[in-house]
């Protein structure tokens, strides 16, 4: 069963890149007294962690594709780990690559999106999205995006949001499983580390890194401000 909300949660975050962490979600966990442990994928061993033991599993982003098992063999064990977690209906939250890995673990196809979606752009909420934890995006739809892949919706989920370049931006299954293709946790000063580490990707996509920095100054504060109500609303409905 899910830990009572009046007790600190044991949160395990699967981290694929050193700079892609809980971001603007971290203060929420800290204020609640939750314990966040990072599991560094590709370094730590999945055999050492019971997929059902954490109160909450957060699957973070990363600059790889969910279908690149030949290049990243750890994805095989990770897929099994996430699939077992979701099959048991244990609280699980995915972001970007994490959402793709969750979709794949639930039997859906993950593949290259028609165009890379990097920067700040609005998302459009579905009826289900407007009554979900994403409600703050109904009045302020700008979100942080950084992905080149997308996924088909798994069976039995509700679509929560879309964007002009990506039809499936968020989905949920019941109260315990939620996935965001966009980055509700990103947009503050730490985004600079993303820009610095992904200059080649930005250049190949024909994107101006300085324009991205300027947009981050404009939109970043509002994106970060939405992180706390989004995560808090989702955690609260886990009761």
Say how many domains are in the chain. Answer: 1
Across the strands, what pairs with 44? 41
Q: Is 179 inside any structural domain?
A: yes
Q: Is 1 inside any structural domain?
A: no
The confidence score (pLDDT) of residue 7 equals 79
The confidence score (pLDDT) of residue 4 equals 44
CATH number for the domain harbouring residue 91: 3.40.50.880
The confidence score (pLDDT) of residue 197 equals 79
Q: Is 2 inside any structural domain?
A: no
Q: Is 152 inside any structural domain?
A: yes
Contacts of 187 (CB under 8 A, 6+ apart): 24, 120, 144, 216, 219, 220, 221, 222, 223, 224
* Model confidence, pTM: 0.94
Look up residue 34 and give its two tokens.
């939750």
Look-up of token digits 């609303």? 233
| Closest to 56 in 3D by CA, of 90, 23, 83 | 90
Phi, psi (5° rounding) for residue 118?
A: -130, 130
Q: How far apart are CA 36 and CA 214, in angstroms?
A: 31
| Contact in structure between 55 and 10 (CB atoms under 8 Å) | yes
The confidence score (pLDDT) of residue 6 equals 60
Q: Is 5 inside any structural domain?
A: no
Q: Is 69 inside any structural domain?
A: yes
Mean pLDDT, 10 residues at a time, the chain of 239 residues: 65 95 96 97 96 98 96 98 98 98 98 94 98 98 96 98 98 98 90 83 84 91 97 92
The confidence score (pLDDT) of residue 41 equals 97
Range of 188's domain? Answer: 10-236
The confidence score (pLDDT) of residue 56 equals 98
């Amino acid at each position: 069963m899910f830990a009572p909300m009046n007790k600190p949660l044991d949160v395990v975050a699967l981290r694929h890149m050193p700079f892609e962490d809980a971001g603007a979600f971290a203060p929420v966990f800290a204020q609640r007294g939750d314990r966040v442990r990072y599991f560094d994928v590709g370094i730590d061993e999945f055999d050492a962690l019971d997929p059902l033991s954490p109160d909450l599993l957060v699957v973070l982003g990363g600059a790889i594709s969910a279908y690149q098992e030949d290049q990243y063999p750890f994805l095989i064990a990770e897929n099994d780990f996430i699939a077992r977690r979701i099959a048991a209906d244990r609280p699980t939250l995915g972001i970007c690559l994490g959402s793709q890995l969750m979709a794949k673990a639930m039997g859906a196809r993950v593949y290259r999106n028609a165009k890379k979606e990097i920067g700040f752009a609005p998302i459009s909420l579905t009826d289900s999205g407007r009554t979900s934890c994403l409600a703050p995006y109904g009045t302020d739809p700008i979100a942080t995006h950084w992905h080149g892949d997308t996924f088909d919706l798994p069976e039995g989920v509700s679509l929560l949001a879309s964007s002009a370049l990506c039809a499936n931006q968020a989905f949920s299954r019941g109260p315990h499983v939620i996935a965001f293709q966009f980055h509700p946790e990103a947009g503050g000063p730490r985004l600079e580390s993303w820009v610095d580490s992904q200059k080649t990707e930005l250049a190949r996509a024909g994107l101006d890194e300085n324009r991205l920095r300027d947009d981050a100054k404009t939109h970043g504060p509002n994106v970060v401000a939405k992180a706390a109500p989004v995560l808090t609303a989702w955690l609260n409905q886990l009761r």
